[in-house]
Amino acid sequence: MNVHDRKIRPVIRQLDDSAVNRIAAGEVVERPASAVKELVENALDAGARRIDIDYADGGKTLIRVRDDGHGMSAQDLPLALSRHATSKIDGSDLLNIHSFGFRGEALPSLGAVGRLSIVSRAAGGDGAAISVEGGRVAPVRPEAAQYGTVVTLRDLFHATPARLKFMRSDRAEAQAIADVVKRLAMAEPYVSFTLSDTSTDAQKEMFRVDAGQGALFDALEDRLASILGREFTDNALRIDAEREGLRLSGFAGLPTFSRGAAVAQFCFVNGRPVRDKLLLGALRAAYSDVLARDRHPVAVLFVDCDPELVDVNVHPAKSEVRFRDPGLARGLVVSALRHALAEGGHRSSSTVGGAMLGAMQPRGAGASYQMPRPGAGAVRMAYQLQAPSELAEAATLWSGREAISARHEHADIPDNAPSQAPLGAACAQLHENYIIAQTEHGMVIVDQHAAHERLVYERLKRQRAAQSVASQTLLIPEIVELSAGEVAQLLELAPDLAALGLHIEGFGGTSVVVRETPALLGEINARLLVREILDDLSDLGASQSLETRLDAVLSRMACHGSVRSGRALRVEEMNALLREMERTPHSGQCNHGRPTYVELGLAEIEKLFGRR
């Protein structure tokens, strides 16, 4: 007898409804936070304007979601617990979806793995309740209730105890619930949310936001300030752009307001929170020119479009989407963010100044007092007595001097008074690296090397765009010894490097010769520049686009061609640098995302000395 004949042939059998529901629950309900997400989205689909969420023991023993939506009748409740029964769609068009839910799986899946009860009352009707445990549905019963719906889920995964072993600590699960609620609250600024922990007798409110008022952008800004902190909205740029039926809106943080990990990036498509690789990749690409590779932007972005332009039926948890035209969506995000960052000009994060204040420790603990404000005459005399002579002599040499004078509003302010230009008038240089400038309302400290590095980088990019990067021939060509692999890597990019003003040729074996360098850089160490360009290309890897790799080369060139730390500058040079910073996009941060200047207001300075 053949050995295969002795095997028992498996029997194909139909799974019962209870098993089917538990399998479906494994796709939809991964942890307590998943259950909260499904229930809150149902409340939003019901038109709720107030949603209260309670949980106990990290959601393992209790999850309760109460809303003031349109509710359900006694006849609707049994259908709500049936698989693939929904009021969101009629099944004729799976692309034209305007709601969060559309599969009709959430409630029956929850009922299959926990003890679920629903109390609801629709307008003009009586309250009714229904419960299900382990997939067994009890009859509908009358129940006193307010308008809206209360869904209570107890003992999640009691029907599938093996899943409980994969649950994390109560604290971790509670944090995951809070994250889900906050993400949903970001997209619904006109809805009130309350999240409470009822693990103990004393109910503890963990999160609360009230419904916003006014225009959408203002309500959204207030909501994001409540969730992410006022620091984010104070240091973010408004985004509002549209292209071929796709609209992008939201807030994007300044490059100097970045994080060490991608933990504060929130994307929404038609109000649905998603973790979409295309959108997150476009976000990184938009900031690639202003952030170091180990820094990550902070942003809250909303993409809105006709539902037929995006497929939300990609993932059971609906956390991923697929755009009909991915290139259009990516291009919109990249171009809109880069345009907003360029319009931000030299603006830098206000948190930089706050960190500086925190680092300053006044000596002694004298009494706080308020200094009297001097009159206008005293101010003019003080300026005349205290103005450095070299500043007065260099005043006429300032770059953009006439434009600055034209913006003076008070003719009685002397010319050597603090400039009304955004970055003020240079007063001194400290440690041959930091420029001190006096502004109308405080002071600015500029890192001369970081600032000039950005300015040179932007000039090189403009020249590259115009295909006119001027080069200068070295009197004595520089020979650089490298490995065979490094030589091959450089020679592969040689035509593109030549277009950037850096002319490199093979010199036989494991050497290259540098014959020309960009004229804008002046005299540089060509050998060191070549080695550092190779390091940057190695870090980027071959997977990065050619444009990204060439931008890295330009950035490295700018670093070598900028004003070095330790170089003494004249007052007119310092002021010329400040004026060019004011005219140059992205000058608030260097090529690596670090701030180029710190600004302190007069009130903040006075606090340091106990005057306020």
Domain end (from 203, 228, 251): 203
Tell which wins on pLDDT, 551 or 67: 67
* pLDDT for 18: 62
* pLDDT for 369: 43
Same domain, residue pair 95 and 225: no
The stretch 572-578 carries a mean pLDDT of: 90
Q: What is the CATH number of the domain that holds 100?
A: 3.30.565.10
pLDDT, one tens digit per residue, over 76-89 is 888 888 765 555 54
The stretch 267-293 carries a mean pLDDT of: 88
* pLDDT for 446: 92
pLDDT, one tens digit per residue, over 429-458 is 998 889 999 988 888 999 998 888 888 888
3-state class (DSSP) for residue 484: helix
Tell which wins on pLDDT, 132 or 353: 132
Kindly state whether residue 223 falls inside one of the protein's structural domains: yes
Least confident of 21-35, 176-190, 457-471: 21-35
Q: What is the pTM of this model?
A: 0.70
Q: Minimal CA–CA distance to 63: which of 15, 25, 22, 111?
A: 111
Token pair in block for residue 157: 């995964």
Report the chain's mean pLDDT, rounded to a whole number. Answer: 80
The stretch 292-306 carries a mean pLDDT of: 89
Give CA torsion, residues 64, 69, 70, 73, to 10 deg. Answer: 10
Domain end (from 158, 173, 203): 203
Measured at the alpha carbon of residue 402, what is the angle toward residues 401 and 406, in degrees to the nearest 5? 120
Same domain, residue pair 313 and 356: no
Q: Is the pLDDT of residue 408 over 60?
A: no
Same domain, residue pair 546 and 469: yes
Say if CB 114 and CB 155 are below 8 A apart: yes
* pLDDT for 85: 55
Token pair in block for residue 85: 């029964």
Phi/psi for 322 (5° steps) reads -135, 120
CB-based contacts of 495: which residues, under 8 Å, 6+ apart? none
Q: Minimal CA–CA distance to 425: which of 413, 439, 411?
A: 439
Kindly state whether residue 9 falls inside one of the protein's structural domains: no
Q: Give the best-scoring range by mean pLDDT among 20-34, 409-423, 431-445.
A: 431-445
* pLDDT for 90: 46
Kindly state whether residue 450 falls inside one of the protein's structural domains: yes
Distances (CA, A) of 259 to 264, 291, 350: 8, 10, 15
Q: What is the CATH number of the domain that holds 551?
A: 3.30.1370.100
Same domain, residue pair 28 and 148: yes
* pLDDT for 84: 59
Say if CB 135 and CB 17 are below 8 A apart: yes
CB-based contacts of 87: which residues, under 8 Å, 6+ apart? 76
Domain end (from 203, 233, 268): 203
Least confident of 3-7, 120-124, 218-222, 267-271: 3-7
Token pair in block for residue 124: 């003009």
Q: Minimal CA–CA distance to 184: which of 265, 266, 261, 262?
A: 266
Kindly state whether residue 67 falls inside one of the protein's structural domains: yes
Q: Give the best-scoring range by mean pLDDT among 133-142, 149-158, 347-356.
A: 149-158
Buried b (16+ CB within 10 A) or exposed e, 405-420: eeeeeeeebebbbbbb
Look up the domain containing 230 and give its range: 216-343
Say if CB 347 and CB 254 are below 8 A apart: yes
Confidence of residue 104 (pLDDT cuts 50, 70, 90): low
Phi/psi for 242 (5° steps) reads -145, 145
Same domain, residue pair 198 and 229: no
Same domain, residue pair 143 and 235: no
3-state class (DSSP) for residue 473: strand
* pLDDT for 180: 94
3-state class (DSSP) for residue 142: strand
Kindly state whether residue 146 falls inside one of the protein's structural domains: yes
Token pair in block for residue 66: 């109460």
Same domain, residue pair 449 and 545: yes
CB atoms inside a 10 Å sphere around CB 373: 7
Residues pairing with 193 in the sheet:
51, 209
CB-based contacts of 400: which residues, under 8 Å, 6+ apart? 421, 579, 582, 583
Q: What is the CATH number of the domain that holds 272?
A: 3.30.230.10
Least confident of 228-232, 236-240, 286-290: 286-290
Kindly state whether residue 379 falls inside one of the protein's structural domains: no
Same domain, residue pair 193 and 232: no
β-strands 50-56, 192-197 pairing: parallel
The stretch 306-315 carries a mean pLDDT of: 78
Give CA torsion, residues 179, 183, 184, 186, to 10 deg. Answer: 140
Q: Is the pLDDT of residue 212 over 50?
A: yes
Same domain, residue pair 559 and 541: yes
Same domain, residue pair 438 and 568: yes
What is the rounded CA–CA span in Å between residue 202 and residue 473? 78
The stretch 513-525 carries a mean pLDDT of: 87
3-state class (DSSP) for residue 481: strand
pLDDT, one tens digit per residue, over 32-70 is 998 999 899 989 988 999 999 999 999 999 999 999 998
What is the rounded CA–CA span in Å between residue 82 and residue 78? 7
Number of structural domains found in the chain: 3
pLDDT, one tens digit per residue, over 363-388 is 444 444 444 555 555 545 544 444 44
Confidence of residue 347 (pLDDT cuts 50, 70, 90): low
Kindly state whether residue 12 falls inside one of the protein's structural domains: no
Q: Assign 3-state DSSP to the chain and report helix, strand, coil percentages, each to 5.
A: 40, 20, 40
What is the rounded CA–CA span in Å between residue 332 and residue 309? 14
Look up residue 121 and give its DSSP letter: E
Phi/psi for 378 (5° steps) reads -65, -35
The beta strands (E) that lie in 337-462 are given as: 425-430, 434-439, 442-447
Same domain, residue pair 64 and 108: yes
Tell which wins on pLDDT, 396 or 535: 535
* pLDDT for 241: 94
Confidence of residue 553 (pLDDT cuts 50, 70, 90): confident
Q: Is the pLDDT of residue 257 over 50?
A: yes
* pLDDT for 353: 60
Tell which wins on pLDDT, 603 or 325: 325
Kindly state whether residue 266 falls inside one of the protein's structural domains: yes
Handedness of CA 225, 228, 231, 233 (dihedral sign): negative
Q: Is the pLDDT of residue 314 over 70?
A: no
Same domain, residue pair 199 and 250: no
